[in-house]
Structure 1
């Protein structure tokens, strides 16, 4: 695969550009996608024009945009050479990871992980961070026994934490996975739910089930739950326990009170990893009750070996409108 200036130009009126030659025409077809939709995606997001010429792609546009597009296309082609597929999420990730904005990289942590790839292997899929902040977060989950992920919805805080937990469980680094959330209603009074204790709390735990179903086959997940190797429970059920040799995730931690947060943090046992995720803008606690997440951030930030990882609207990996909605609300709060 070679990259160079476009010589000669496609026409006398064509702007200057770069040309990338791809040795395997079959992989180039996969790179372009059905009806060249992958190329159209790169064009739209980076503001360039990409033209296929035989076994090469000619890129036209501003210098910086052309360079970024070339790096993105090369990275996607290398995925195909490694036997991986190229989906819309892969294109989005490569574009994000090839965007280096100094003001968005906070602290030494992100600088350590520029370049290279991080892959989280689970039973059902391979998970890869799609932004530099996600990459640093995943790295911190492997390096620290206690890690915090703080930021808006849709930034992958819980999803990546559960993926790492499943990976560490599969590799035998932990004996069980414990996922919990505060059972706090999000602004609605749902009343008394029918059923057993488990059936009553299941609606609150559904996001955690969704993540696990992405990483483990259904029958295996059911068996692991029956054997208590995977537990999903409300935060209140953690009182009095010592969680040893476990990967523990507290989701929606902004809805834990200060007392609950202290109780949960002190459950950490030998050989365990603990991840706390939350969004400071979505506190559903009663008025006047302080969030345990903010309290823990204030008290623990200076303690070594406890990592705090922050996300912004630019790290949202859901629908593009989600990032715009978050930014609109943040702008209104600071106005």
Structure 2
């Protein structure tokens, strides 16, 4: 490794200071970030002070926080040594994961276990890394189980990670196609009044799925895959009557599926397929008195082997920090 932990010259200082020496100044510049913004992020999130002196970083603060900051800096530097890039998201994820990272049973050529047990999912355009322990457990279950549920508030990466795993399985030959679906509940009976053909009518409701795919697959390749039906994006109603074999199938916004729609969707599972169902129980748009199929599925399928249920909370929100605060405020009001 290209870093060393030094002992401060004054033994009393060692109680409040940890010195880290980095051998490669070029990588150290990347570690610090432009105008030391990476250091500032670590200082803010962990509650320490970091001072750069040449190729040495001095981490000052209370014992636990100082140790966490030092470990984060060392892991990020090791990531740079391995040829990876780091950004605000990678730093946030490394801090959140902390010491909770552990070895995993992912397929070796599909998932990279990075220093400290961090997980990276390979896609065509980028490496995707879970940023919380719940996300990491969720990703593992997506690979280990033929059917997985991801349930929790907005911004926790449920759909994003599912699509990333789907792209990974497609490029590694584990499945032959990706099928992404959502209930178009918001449109209701008004769908026919929207301009354009059926595809243009439902496109606005499918946009979050397009956004995720665009992050993982180059535009030209994605257009070709959609043209030859290697990747399909369709409303839930279009699933009726189909048997989905060797496909990675994602149902997003599943809280807006009725009980009958959910049963119809789940029974589409064919040989060699994987199915992921994501939803947020607090955002049901069904008519009053209509039971959410997601809630029924939780109750009915609990305990069925090879079906995993993964739950997220506001602590797993990886969007703007204010999103987590908003979710917590609403949860407190409901309580």
Name the TM-score, length of structure 1 as normaliser: 0.92
Counterpart of 2:5 in structure 1 is 3
Counterpart of 2:52 in structure 1 is 52
How far residue 54 of structure 1 moved from its aligned partner, in angstroms, is 2.2
Does the 8 Å CA contact 2:27/2:80 hold for their aligned counterparts? Answer: yes
Counterpart of 2:328 in structure 1 is 327
How far residue 7 of structure 1 moved from its aligned partner, in angstroms, is 2.7
Q: Which structure 2 residues correspond to residues 17-166 of structure 1 after superposition, within 5 A?
A: 17-98=17-98, 115-166=116-167
How far residue 15 of structure 1 moved from its aligned partner, in angstroms, is 6.7
Compared with structure 1, are the counterparts of its residues 200 and 225 closer, same or farther at alpha carbon in structure 2 (3 Å cutoff)?
Answer: same
- The alignment partner of 2:117 has SS state of coil
1:272 aligned onto 2:277: no
Compared with structure 1, are the counterparts of its residues 188 and 85 closer, same or farther at alpha carbon in structure 2 (3 Å cutoff)?
Answer: farther
1:204 aligned onto 2:212: no
Cα distance in 1 for partners of 2:318, 2:8 equals 34
1:226 aligned onto 2:227: yes
Q: Which moved more, 1:83-92 or 1:182-191?
A: 182-191
Q: Which moved more, 1:40-49 or 1:13-22?
A: 13-22
- The alignment partner of 2:326 has SS state of helix
- The alignment partner of 2:51 has SS state of strand
- The alignment partner of 1:70 has SS state of helix
- The alignment partner of 2:139 has SS state of helix
How far residue 190 of structure 1 moved from its aligned partner, in angstroms, is 7.5
How far residue 56 of structure 1 moved from its aligned partner, in angstroms, is 1.2
Cα distance in 2 for partners of 1:231, 1:79 equals 35
How far residue 46 of structure 1 moved from its aligned partner, in angstroms, is 0.7
Compared with structure 1, are the counterparts of its residues 332 and 126 closer, same or farther at alpha carbon in structure 2 (3 Å cutoff)?
Answer: same
Cα distance in 2 for partners of 1:158, 1:127 equals 13
- The alignment partner of 1:149 has SS state of strand
Counterpart of 1:239 in structure 2 is 240
For residues 143-173 of structure 1, the C-alpha deviation after alignment (integer angstroms, 9 at most, x for no partner) is: 1000000000000000000000001000111
For residues 84-125 of structure 1, the C-alpha deviation after alignment (integer angstroms, 9 at most, x for no partner) is: 12211111011101165xxxxxxxxx9765940211111111
- The alignment partner of 2:118 has SS state of coil
RMSD: 2.1
- Runs of 4+ in structure 1 over 3 Å off: 12-15, 110-115, 186-191
Cα distance in 2 for partners of 1:26, 1:223 equals 40
Cα distance in 2 for partners of 1:64, 1:286 equals 50
Compared with structure 1, are the counterparts of its residues 41 and 189 closer, same or farther at alpha carbon in structure 2 (3 Å cutoff)?
Answer: farther
- The alignment partner of 1:98 has SS state of helix
Does the 8 Å CA contact 1:6/1:58 hold for their aligned counterparts? Answer: no
Q: Which runs of 5+ in 1 are unaligned?
A: 101-109
For residues 311-335 of structure 1, the C-alpha deviation after alignment (integer angstroms, 9 at most, x for no partner) is: 000100000000000000001000x
Does the 8 Å CA contact 1:6/1:19 hold for their aligned counterparts? Answer: yes
Q: Which runs of 5+ in 2 are unaligned?
A: 105-112
Name the TM-score, length of structure 2 as normaliser: 0.92
Cα distance in 1 for partners of 2:80, 2:284 equals 43
Cα distance in 2 for partners of 1:191, 1:241 equals 24
Does the 8 Å CA contact 2:206/2:233 hold for their aligned counterparts? Answer: yes
Cα distance in 1 for partners of 2:328, 2:322 equals 10
How far residue 83 of structure 1 moved from its aligned partner, in angstroms, is 1.1
Q: How many residues align?
A: 323
Compared with structure 1, are the counterparts of its residues 99 and 333 closer, same or farther at alpha carbon in structure 2 (3 Å cutoff)?
Answer: farther
